Amino acid sequence: MKYEKKNLFYIYILFLTLIPFTAYASIFTYYPVNVSLQPVSPPIVLRDPLQPGVSVSTGPAGASASIAYLIPYAISLSQGAIYSNTFDTGLPVGWVTYGLGTWGSSTGRVSGGVSGSTKGGQGQTDVAYYKTSDLYSSSYSGYIYLAAYVSTSNVGAGRWAGIAFHGTATQNFYACLVGDNGMLEIAMRIYFGVEFWTVLSSAQAAISTGSFYLLVCARNPSTGAMLAQLYDPSTGFLLASTSASSTLISPTSIGLVVRRVGGGPGVSPVFDELVLSYRDPGSVCITNIPSGWRAELYNGSTLIGSQISSGPAAEVCFQIFAISTILRQGVIRVYDSSNTLRASLGPQLVVGGSLYRLDPQASTARILNVVNLDGKGYYALLTLSSYSYSGFSSIQIRVCGSTCSSWISIPPPPAQTTEVQIPPGTSYVELSQNPSQVGAQASISLFLNYSTLPGQGGVSVAYPIFISIR
């Protein structure tokens, strides 16, 4: 019996031990749980300011930014023509004439022109001139170019038409002439009550009546060297060239000349578009073009030429005299190597012999918006991480909120701005740059640090920003 009692007691204890587990399981029941995680937008986001020349790509949640900034460029006149006239309405006001012939207006090669005509007689010289002594120096040590389109009714013996450099005594001049059985001549005329002509040099030119040619007469006032050239505008070909030298006359004026020797038919030339310049009057040049960039010249919507620069600050030139030496609707455009238009000039009057220049411009621009989506203010500053640059006098960056911070300078110091408050709404990052040469470039990495408390206290966050300037 004793054995049986012990066995019953054991069973009883085991039963009591299992009771709490049964009760616990009946009170707590477990069900399946579904969890959905949604990202929370940061209180500060970076956005594109939508400003000219600024392109911004932002990262996830607007917590990073890559900025491309295009340096503004401008085209300006570096050296213009000394004097020019289209002759559209005939002989301009201020011109003086002498001789027995007549001067009037006529249809020119481009538009209107100046007509000249000798009066019947054995010998006659007719001149129209304009005083330009205040426009160029007699000590200038280079060629001064005078050019005009010329068409003549008679290229036979003893018949000439041309352009001239006149001396202080305007009856004395050097002239570049076409005529006299198809010749191109450099001649000198001296007048002492009677005129004396001396042909200084000449060349045969295959010219015909009624056709317009570009006649170029160049003289170096310092050495007396002279050059005459005759071009066919329809082909661009140089038909004839001749040179001479003389210092007997010191020119102070420019003019048109019609000359006749002997009887028979007279000569009635037409002149159009006269240009006086320090450079080739048949071309227009643009200098300071970065390597790989493209310059284009238009007259209105007509493309005259397109050239790619082959040097770091090269000069490109366009021959224009096949169209006109005075473009009424001239347009110059310059594109970078990515085919982005960087500068444009015109439409405006563009005169042959002119030199234009491309230059980068200093600028200050908003390059990034910093938007506070929260209802309270935060505190922000910029910290420079790394940089590389070439061709700049200065680069500066700052952040502006309630006020603007101090500037980061490239190169530093300083490498960090002062702290400013970023109120609810839109604040921004500002760039100021001053390039010293064409083709200037920079790459800058920095951080926008913002915090919940001043002095970058509380919770602090850093957004990476990359800036490319070119």
Q: What is the mean pLDDT of each run of 10 residues along the chain (470 residues)?
A: 40 39 40 51 94 96 97 97 94 89 91 85 77 69 95 90 91 95 96 92 92 97 96 95 95 92 84 96 97 97 96 94 97 97 97 98 98 95 97 98 97 95 97 96 98 94 98
CATH number at residue 397: 2.60.40
Q: Do residue 189 and residue 249 come from a single domain?
A: yes
Q: Do residue 90 and residue 233 come from a single domain?
A: yes
Domain boundary among 336, 360, 384: 360
Domain boundary among 340, 360, 380: 360
Domain for residue 1, yes or no?
Answer: no
Q: Do residue 417 and residue 439 come from a single domain?
A: yes
pLDDT of residue 21: 39
Residue for token pair 């071309």? 283
What is the number of structural domains in the chain?
Answer: 3
Domain for residue 250, yes or no?
Answer: yes
Domain for residue 237, yes or no?
Answer: yes
pLDDT of residue 360: 98
Q: Do residue 114 and residue 58 come from a single domain?
A: no
Secondary structure of 395-410 as H, E, C letters: EEEEEECCCECCCEEE
Which residues form the domain of 343?
A: 287-360
Q: Do residue 128 and residue 264 come from a single domain?
A: yes
Reported as type and span, the H/E element at residue 445 is strand 441-453
pLDDT of residue 41: 75
Q: Do residue 197 and residue 176 come from a single domain?
A: yes
Distance CA 117, CA 161 (A): 10
Q: What is the dihedral of CA 105, 106, 108, 113, to 10 degrees?
A: -10
Domain for residue 66, yes or no?
Answer: yes
Distance CA 212, CA 155 (A): 12
pLDDT of residue 160: 92
Q: Which residues contact 14 (CB under 8 A, 6 or more apart)?
A: none
Q: Do residue 101 and residue 181 come from a single domain?
A: yes
Domain for residue 352, yes or no?
Answer: yes
Q: Do residue 257 and residue 326 come from a single domain?
A: no
Q: pTM of this prediction?
A: 0.85
Domain for residue 432, yes or no?
Answer: yes
Domain for residue 346, yes or no?
Answer: yes
Phi/psi of residue 189, nearest 5 degrees: -120, 125
Q: Do residue 367 and residue 354 come from a single domain?
A: no
Q: Do residue 211 and residue 93 come from a single domain?
A: yes
Residue for token pair 């030339």? 269
Q: Do residue 455 and residue 308 come from a single domain?
A: no
Domain for residue 150, yes or no?
Answer: yes
Q: Do residue 262 and residue 409 come from a single domain?
A: no
Domain boundary among 277, 298, 321: 277
| Contact between residue 317 and residue 304 where contact means Cβ atoms under 8 Å apart | no
CATH number at residue 214: 2.60.120.560
